[in-house]
Amino acid sequence: MKRTTTKLADGRELIYFDADDAADRESTDLRPLEPAASLSEIRRDPATGDWVTVAAHRQGRTYHPPADECPLCPSRDGRLSEIPAAEYQVAVFENRFPSLAVDAARHVTGHPHPLAAAGPGTGRCEVVCFTSDHDLSFAGLDEPGARLVLDAWTDRTAALAAMPEVEQVYCFENRGAEIGVTLAHPHGQIYALPFTTPRTARMIEQARRHRAATGRNLFEDLLAAERAEPGRLVLAGEHWTAFVPFAARWPYEVHLYPHRRVGDLTALTEDERAEFPAVYLELLRRFDRLFIEPGHNEQAAPTPYISAWHQAPSSAGGEELALHLELFTIRRTVGKLKFLAGVESGMDAFVNDVSPESAAQRLREVAS
């Protein structure tokens, strides 16, 4: 893999990742950009202990531009974008409208109330462009292309985790307008967070309790239990297993684990990396076949989904967490979405409209 680093016109970092060591991505951003400003702040909710990021400057971010004005396409034919090169394989750059930024500290002022714990929204937000092809999707990549994205995720995890202010690195993809995606180009994001996210903190606490009660790791036991339950298995390889969890929250939700417990992407072996693309691409393609109506070769719209890597934070107890990917859709059937209504949004108590066993069966039925 070749890694080429450059700067955009406003000083943000841009990194090209290429499978071919001979690739030439030397290019200059010719746009007249002013330095981007971040007003990010984190505030602790005194009732729950959760950190909330306040980033009011993001209200002006790019919103559903037409395809011929896409900021993630290469710069060509006289149109300048966030990617100065005329072509690329995978490109990663600092978000122009970040929720978190390394210079956030200088914008934050104190709060006098004793319960108003706050701090700068220090960290980094990056955009990961999976391909220069605007009309493709991750599922449309070939295995070498998916492997290159995995290598980019791994590279960025290592670099961002080394930043002193970063506690957790979160790689994810949102796909579909129904999810809230504002740019149609195939891409994901990486958040380098200055705190451990609430969901991760709850996982670590459950793992701590399991260790105290059994002397074993929660995630190793969980994977073994799911692998022993064929009713919820979706697919399994030599190094990875995908299953619908016993208490799935979303109509179609799949968790993908490496068989060997590791904390983050940097700890995967070459054999584990080599198998991942085929397994993950098969999962994504099955998701795109979930809602094809009988008698139709194609569905009306691609399946919206969120794909989220869970990686160990640097905080105490993080060593108990197991790297895994959680993939889920908010579509519950053809033409119907799973909205987070009062009990989910108000109380964080999920009600699933599809049984996990039925979801797993459907995901096996749509195998390639």
Give dist(CA 225, CA 227) in Å, integer.
6
Task: Give residue for tokens 């989220």.
Answer: 308
Active site residue 310: no
Annotated catalytic residue: which of 64, 185, 187, 296?
187
Six-digit token string for 45: 């909710």
Q: 92, 129 in Cβ contact below 8 A?
A: yes
> What are the two backbone dihedrals, phi and then psi, of residue 265, each rounded to the nearest 5 degrees?
-65, -30
Q: What is the 3-state secondary structure (H, E, C) of 164-199?
A: CCCCEEEEEEEECCCCCCCCCCCEEEEEEECCCCHH
106: left (phi over 0), alpha (psi -120 to 50) or beta: alpha
Q: At what angle do helices 270-289 and 143-161 cross, to 10 degrees?
A: 120
How does DSSP assign 92-133, residue by residue? EEE-SS-SS-TTGGGG-----STT--EEE--SEEEEEE--S-
- List the catalytic residues: 187
